[in-house]
Every structure is written in C-alpha cells, then in structure tokens.
Amino acid sequence: DKKTVPDLINTYEWTHQLSQAGFIAAPVSCFKHAPMADSWDNITVGMKVEVENTDCDNFSEDFPDSFWVATVLRIAGYKALLRYEGFGQNDAKDFWVNLCSSMVHPVGWCATRGKPLIPPKTIEDKYKDWKDFLVKRLTGARTLPSNFYNKVHDNLKSRFRCDLNLEVVDKNKISQVKVARIEKIVGKRLHVCYYDARPDDNDFVRKEELSGNSSTENKCTRRTNKLRRYCQPPEGFWCHEDSPLIHPVGWAKRVGHKLDAPREYIDHCAKGLRDKDDATEDLFPLPYYVPAGCVPFEAGMKLEAIDPLNLSAICVATVKKILNEGYLMIRIDSYDDESATTSDSDWFCYHMTSPCIFPVGFCEMNDLPLRPPKDYSPETFTWTDYLTLTGARPAPAHFFNREIPNHNFMLGMRLEAADLMDPRLICVGTVSRVIGRLLKIHFDGWEEDYDQWLDCESPDIYPVGWCQLVAHKLEGPPSPMKN
Amino acid sequence: MTDTKTRKWEQKQVQIRTLEGEFSVTMWASGTDD
C-alpha cells in the first residue's frame, strides 16, 4: 500500500472528482514522456480485466484472495472505472482503479496462477452456469496483453541512475549551469544536488539572490510557505530527465555557456576526460542540430518569451548573446535595469527552436497579455514605438519554431503538473488555455497568478494517476481551512 | 491472427479457471506481446 510510504502521506486522491459531471482527464497518449503513452490508444472502454473481488466473504481457507472479471466503463488518465461482470446496469459496486497498478490483470492471469474466478456475492445466485456466462461475455472481447505489466515496469525505468554528475541550470543564478549529482529518481524525475549545496538548500529561488523580479520572488516564497504548512521541508532541486534545464558533462564548455564548477571538474572537461559517473550525451534527448554559422538570431533582436522566473507571464525580451549549437541567452525586458543587477546574472538560455520563445506580435495576435518592458504599462506599450525608441530589430517570425504537433489537449482537461517554481511539488491542474502548442496550466484552487505557460510536449505535465503510479506525492487543491 | 483494420489487435486463446473447472475463450489482446 503506497499510502503507507511516509512521502505519500496526505497525497491527493482524484477519486471523488473522477465521477463528477464534466470531468475530463487529458488522455495518457497526450503525454509522450509518460509511461505507456505510445500504446495507450489500445486501452479502450469495454475491455475486460481480472481484478480482486472485494464483494465476497472476508476469509476462505481455500482461497485467501478472490478475483473476478470486470469491464472498463470509463477511462480518465491512468484511472479506469470498472464494473464486475454480471452486474448488468447495476452500478452499486463500480470502482475506480489505476490500470497500471498491480491490482489489475489481463484476463487469463488468474488461471496461470491457479486462482479460480469467484463471482461476487451480490450476483452469485444470478446464474447457474457461470462457465456459459463467461464464455458468452468474454469471447471476442478485448483484454490487456499478457506482458502489460512488464511493459509498465520497463516504461517506468529512468535512463539515468543515482550518483551521475550533470550540468543543471543554477536556480539561484539562471544565467549559469552548475555541476550537480543525482540524489534520487522518482518517476523519471531527478532530484539533483548542486556540488556546493548547503544542507538547508531549498527548491524555490531565494529572495535575496533573485535578480530583479520582485513579483516572482514574493510569489515563490508565498506559495512555498503556504504549502510548507502541510508538506515536508523542501530539499534540493527536481526536474524531469527530459527537462531542457539539464545537460551532459561538458555541455557548457561545448556551447559556450557560463559554468559554476569545481576547478578539477573544469580541468577534467578541458582535457576531454570523462568519469564513470559523468552523464553522457546519449542519456539526453537528441539536441536539435544547428550547424555552425546557421543561427539566424543576432544579439539585440527583440522577441516575446515566457519569463523563466514567472511562467505565468509572456514578456518583451531581448536576445543578449548567441551561443554555439543554436542556444541563445535571452533577457526579459521587465526585469530591473541591467545596471542595477549583477551584469548578466538574469539572462536565461533558450534554444532557438524552443517553443517558449515567440516573434514580436505573438501575444497581440493571440489576444494574450504581454508583460511590457520595465517602466512601461500594458496600456501604453506598443511594439512599434518601443522598437523605434530602442533602435532594435524584431527577430523575424520565420526564425522561430512554428511546428504545432497534433497534441489533442483541450480546454478544461485535467492533469497533474509540476509547480516549476518549486518543482518537487506535483499538483492537480487544468488546461485553461490552448494556443497552438502552448498550454496554460491552472493549478486548481490557486489564483491565476500561479498559472504556468507550458509547451504541449513539456515533460513536467502528467496524466491523472501518474503520481499514484510512480509513488510521488500529489498536491491537491488548497483547502480553505488550511489557507 | 491479426486485426487487419488496425493491425494492433491479436486474437488469442485465454485460459479461464472457475470453481467448476477450466476452459478457454478466444479474446483480442492489443499486440504488444512480442
């Protein structure tokens, strides 16, 4: 019982929401990085499975556990509403299960283990000949493949292992990456520890170290403090293994990104040496190949970008520096004056193909609020005036990634999402806007200020039931009492 | 046999055991057995 694991105490259960009218979970197949996503379309309503029969006498010496066949009536993420076979239209014993849990089996599983199917007590007298009934109900029906759980198990394995070294965006100085070590892995989410981490290191960006975005610092601190009332204290930094925030050993040197690392690490990389615990490139998603000299962006160009320190805002931004292999250093124009901050400490690295950067006019075209540069108000800001005043050139629209995958996310779909301002937290959320491939994720029960703009292929969003599947705590909506 | 419409489903004999005895039925399983 995963609920007895200390980390999972008070984990949120979707169960009471699943049957509510209008509840729609984003299908597992929408989340490419999620276990079983590539074969989830084969999981269908009407499918038959074998599950524990809880409608029976509590104890029998001959059969300590009892199983029966059930039909999948509804699917919501990894969860399925089941009805025991033979109940007809009677929904009295319907129940929700996680289809990837070890409690659900393909039809035939019981026989391979010598366990007989025993009809539930409610219907045990309904038929005289259960064999005839089962033959009629099961012949031609669909069930799970016999290796379903091997597949689930394989799909849950991370490419990484604990103790590997890698380069991770420094949460306290976003313009640099820092050497870190993988401490723990849960559901392909890596808990990494910076090489110089202090014992009291927290996930959220520390107030005194944030460079010039006071609204974000207050937001992070406020939310974390709220959650801390009923959460374990945060430690280290969490991200998914496909996150663009992590890189192999040697990446910073290769692309020309700032690096914070011990002297011996820098020397090691300079010599092209690798340690057995160094994360190598093959562990990371294949980078988009951009040949040298083929980056059309130029320093000084203006664009619109998701604020890496406040994912609810799309902002006026500037390309500050071109790195190798198509990486760009970008600065959000609404941050404090550069002269008032520590030089380039608030620049952030986006790849030129990132779905989180947009051409000038993207927000206006999609009727989205655009956060203007510092000292401008949304009412008075116009791109035309700003470009004239700054003498800057807008990055042309064809420089940007314009591909829109056929993602199938729709407004109102429910999911589980990492709070990227405190990424050890996975919270219940709702797709509140869909703009092409861009999704706005609303955290249920929280103000809109906490919403996050994420790409439809973000590895930080998961189907309903993912936390339960990987044994990660799920944060429910804040209860009014606790607030 | 494979479902020619989707090529994802395979017909298979599935063993069922009840208190009265054992028998088999023909079902479709999604084709991830390989």
Tokens of B34: 């390989």
Q: Measure A410 CA to nearest chain B CA, in Å.
A: 26
Nearest residue in B to A39, CA atom: B32
Residue in B10, B24, B27, B34 to test binding to A, most A beta-carbons within 10 Å: B27
The beta-carbon neighbor of A107 closest among B14, B21, B32 is: B14
Contacts of A48 in chain B (CB under 8 A): 27
Q: How far apart are CA A48 and CA A87, in angstroms?
A: 14
Task: Report ipTM (2 d.p.).
Answer: 0.85
Contacts of B29 in chain A (CB under 8 A): 106, 142-146
Q: How far apart are CA A146 and CA B33, in angstroms?
A: 7
Contact A24, A410 (CB under 8 A): yes
Q: Do A131 and B33 touch (CB under 8 A)?
A: no
Nearest residue in A to B28, CA atom: A142
User: 């989205």: which residue's tokens?
Assistant: A368
Tokens of A308: 């890496």
Identify residues of A whose CB sits under 8 angstroms from chain B CBs: 39, 41-43, 48, 106-108, 110-112, 114-118, 130-131, 134-135, 138-148, 151
Nearest residue in B to A137, CA atom: B25
pLDDT by residue, tens only, chain A of 483 residues: 455 567 788 899 999 999 999 999 999 999 999 999 999 999 999 999 999 999 987 666 667 788 999 999 999 999 999 999 999 999 999 999 999 999 999 999 999 999 999 999 999 999 888 999 999 999 999 999 999 999 999 999 999 999 999 999 999 899 999 999 999 999 999 999 999 886 655 544 433 333 334 444 344 444 444 443 333 334 468 999 999 999 999 999 999 999 999 999 999 998 888 889 999 999 999 888 888 788 999 999 999 999 999 999 999 999 999 999 999 999 999 998 766 555 788 999 999 999 999 999 999 999 999 999 999 999 999 999 999 999 999 999 999 998 999 999 999 999 999 999 999 999 999 999 999 999 999 999 999 999 999 999 999 999 999 999 999 999 999 876 443
Nearest residue in A to B27, CA atom: A140
Residue A342: how many other CB atoms lie within 10 Å:
12
